[in-house]
Amino acid sequence: MKYTEVLIAGGGAAGIMAALAASESGADVLIIEQMGQLGKKILATGNGRCNYTNYYQKAECYRGNDPLFAWKAIQKFGQKETVNLFKLYGILPSDRNGYVYPLSGQALCVRDILNMQLKSAGAEIHIDEKITGAKLYINKKTGKQDGFAVLTNKDRYFTKKLVIAMGGKASPVHGSDGSGYKIAAGFGHSLVMPVPALTLCILDEKYTQDWAGARTNGSVKAYSQTGCLLGKDSGELQFVAQGISGIPVFQISRYISKELSQGGKPYLIIDIMPLYGKREIVCELLNRKNNYTYCSTGDIFKGLLNNKLAAALLKKCGLSLKRPAKELADTSIKKLAAVMKSWHMDVKSTGSFDKAQVTCGGINTDEIDVHTMESKICRGLYFAGEVIDVDGICGGYNLQWAWTSGHIAGSAAGSSVHVPV
């Protein structure tokens, strides 16, 4: 059995930060990652450019059953501390409307510099090694807890402090398979059901193939089957063959996923003409009908809507794309305008974990000390990153949570190594 003072389970963003913080506290650190490289998911962030934090920070940027848990932690180590620390590491910031990227514009540089820092700090790194179990180590002489025994597919380890930073279930191709939940459960921790977040909505509608590839600025609201507002957002909507995507949909997808997981039947209300009122749209369509008498129904939307979106709209309203515009009844025009302002769409599901950027749910934050990320159930056990019931909105907030929770957990674990459990 090999010995280390602090063992970090998971080599993603949170695990790397925890390892760095623990090393800086003077502890001997071992980080174990099941993938063939550390920080693989970092490479996919910000479309390969790594949006590693955001200068705009508010409590509502972070979600969870306790919406203030993350915000309290951010007060201890937030975006300012992250940017300053990264500068010390050699990662200079580039501010793009509050979204912070490395000056190089490459996620690879961020990952590589963090790896260089780990090696400089003397942290031991094991890759291609999967943690399969962990349990309390009981001192046979005293009968008291004296650390943790950790089992992998390659070896056994004894550690004074254990930091679980194994991610959630989103994007398993990058190493997040939910195995951290099982290990946490073995120590008595409860779980807020994990569901996909920051993902698309798959619709139970017949016209989605028609609009595939279309984009437009609009607003989206999600409702429960009883009509309760679940969430809303606005911005560029992206229409795909399965349904609807884009950042506004991503931002509210967690609420839709939770509603679906509870057996609900949520629906969306989309406004694809947010700058115009229903009456203005009716007048515009009537003018086009009267002026373009020689055109088809589909033609009156040219310059107003994307052609593919117009085709889907007409199918939704039961109207032919090729029907002469002059034959459109005024009632049909009013119906078209009503749908453009309030398009009802039934949600079949959200994207799977394979297509989700982050997990909603995780280890119950009621069981974690926000000041140290230490378990309230098992002393010496810490958590960091997506494994915890915290998920952020788009814009660098999930990486910020990884840096925040990782730094707090690693610092606390490293500095308490020689304090009796």
> What is the rounded average pLDDT for all residues in the chain?
96
- What CATH homologous superfamily does 2-196+355-415 map to? FAD/NAD(P)-binding domain (3.50.50.60)
Q: What pLDDT sits at residue 109? A: 96
Q: What is the pTM of this model?
A: 0.95
Mean pLDDT for the stretch of residues 155-176 = 95
| Residue type present at position 44 | A
CA distances from 55 to 71, 82, 84, 107 (A): 14, 11, 12, 18
Residue 320, both tokens: 């032919």
What integer pLDDT is reported at residue 421 of this predicted model?
A: 53
For residues 202 and 349, the answer to whether their CB atoms sit within 8 Å is yes
What is residue 413's DSSP assignment?
H
pLDDT digits (tens, 9 = 90+) for 332-360: 999 999 999 999 999 999 999 999 999 99
How far from 111 is each of 17, 52, 183, 222, 270, CA to CA, in Å?
11, 11, 27, 36, 39
Query: Cα–chain-centroid distance for residue 119?
Result: 29
Grade residue 420 by pLDDT with cuts at 50, 70 and 90: low
| The predicted structure's pLDDT at residue 140 | 80
Q: Which pairs count as long-range contacts for 55-60, CB under 8 Å and 24+ apart, including other chains?
A: 55/79, 55/95, 55/98, 55/100, 56/98, 56/395, 57/400
User: Do the Cβ atoms of 34 and 130 come closer than 8 Å?
Assistant: yes
- Residue 355 burial (CB count, 10 A): 16
**What CA–CA distance (Å, rounded) separates 266 from 281?**
28
Domain range list for the chain: 2-196+355-415, 200-351
What local confidence, expressed as pLDDT, does residue 225 receive? Answer: 93
Contact present, 44 and 390 (Cβ < 8 Å):
no
Overall average pLDDT of the 363-374 stretch: 99
Q: Which tokens hold the place of 319? A: 């109207």
- Whether 148 shows a pLDDT value over 60: the answer reads yes
The helix or strand, by DSSP H or E, that contains position 394, with its residue range, turns out to be none
- Break the chain down into helix, strand, coil percent, rounded to 5: 35, 25, 35
| Across 10-17, average pLDDT | 98
* 113, pLDDT greater than 70: yes
SS3 309: helix
